[in-house]
Amino acid sequence: MVIKISIKKKIASSNEPQTLPKQAEQDHTKPLDTSNQPSGYHPFIDKLSIVVTPLSEDAGDIFNNVWAQFAEKDVFQDAKAKWGPFKVAKWINLEKTNARALFQLAYVDKQVTKCRLEFNPRKVGQAGLMELKADLTSIFNNGWEYVIEHGVVTRIDVAVDMPNARPGMFAILPQQGLTSKSWAVSGKLQTFVLGKKKGNQTLLYNKKLERLSKGQPWIGKSVARLERRLRHPPIVGLNGLHMLPNPFKAILLTEIPTNHPPGEAKPWVWEMFKDCVIQRGLPGALALLPKEKRTLYRDHLKNHPHQLWDPVAIWKNWPAVVKQSELGLP
């Protein structure tokens, strides 16, 4: 039996659709206090999507609870995110952090079949997460514990910031056959996307310029952010977050070596290749090479990882990050 607990009325707000919060990210309203070495980089969750499939005996009660809570207009506001089986979409306003979580509902004959939650744990913060957990107690029996027990992580975006760095300092050596795109301003690389939108993706971009372009504040020097967007990651529930395989190991950030590969009989070809990288990016330049030479060049690049990139050292900080997030149960 699902327990119903009413949500305490919050300060009234407009029912008009809201844009995402524009406050500065907490970590970037002041100079970054981290060592400029990979071992000092702390990965973080930039987006988390969870689909909860209720037990059949709870489906009707959850349906009734949801519609009762939707009456709290200052808490639940309409969202334009109705797709697939999700007939209802609402923003859950979290006033303590001025952030929001997306709540979607799928149902048949007043029986809930699936609920979906999506939010940015970093923006929500610990205070916002506590508020979200309290709101969900009015929907699910045992609240967040029910989400942990019956929820599946369907998407997780894991990112890491490299302070005092810019995307143009790195060249991404992709896996074979992956689609890539890049955007540049004034000839300088600002954003690089690897992979298709409906699959797993890797993004490398200038976080400072991204925020300034949205009119959001930033203090300090540029930061290069590398982000891995994983759909249907190889974990099931929130309690398995600490066991997520290192998503950064699939990415090699390299420096273009000055010297040509040892097996290159024509050094001038390497010089032309380096110029091509500037114009087309590393994936595009490699794609122009014959297969044997492409393999030779890829092996040469693998031997020159960027000094600011060590995915193993970065990932050693992941268990502590997960524990501090309080997303799972201890």
Q: Which residues pair with 112 in a beta bridge?
A: 107
Report the pLDDT averaged over residues 13-35. 39
Q: How far is CA 115 from CA 2, 39, 50, 151, 236, in A?
A: 15, 38, 8, 9, 16
Please give the domain boundaries of the chain with CATH numbers for all domains.
55-139 (3.30.310), 160-318 (no CATH)
On the question of pLDDT at 296 being above 90, the answer is yes
**pLDDT, tens only, 162-190:** 998 888 888 888 765 556 566 555 555 57
Strands 180-185 and 88-94: unpaired
Give strand ranges (E) for 75-179.
76-78, 88-94, 99-108, 111-119, 151-163, 171-173
Measuring CA to CA, which residue among 12, 45, 20, 49 is closest to residue 232?
49
More confident: 193 or 210:
193
Both tokens of residue 164? Answer: 């005092």
Both tokens of residue 144? Answer: 């967040």
Measuring CA to CA, which residue among 79, 212, 230 is closest to residue 157?
230
**Percent of the chain clearing pLDDT 70 (strictly above):** 84
Q: For the whole prediction, is pTM greater than 0.85?
A: no
Which pLDDT belongs to residue 27?
39
On the question of pLDDT at 103 being above 70, the answer is yes
Q: What is the C-alpha to C-alpha distance for residues 288 and 10, in angstroms, rounded to an integer?
A: 59
Mean pLDDT of the chain: 84
On the question of pLDDT at 238 being above 90, the answer is yes
On the question of pLDDT at 31 being above 70, the answer is no
Measuring CA to CA, which residue among 139, 160, 159 is closest to residue 151?
139
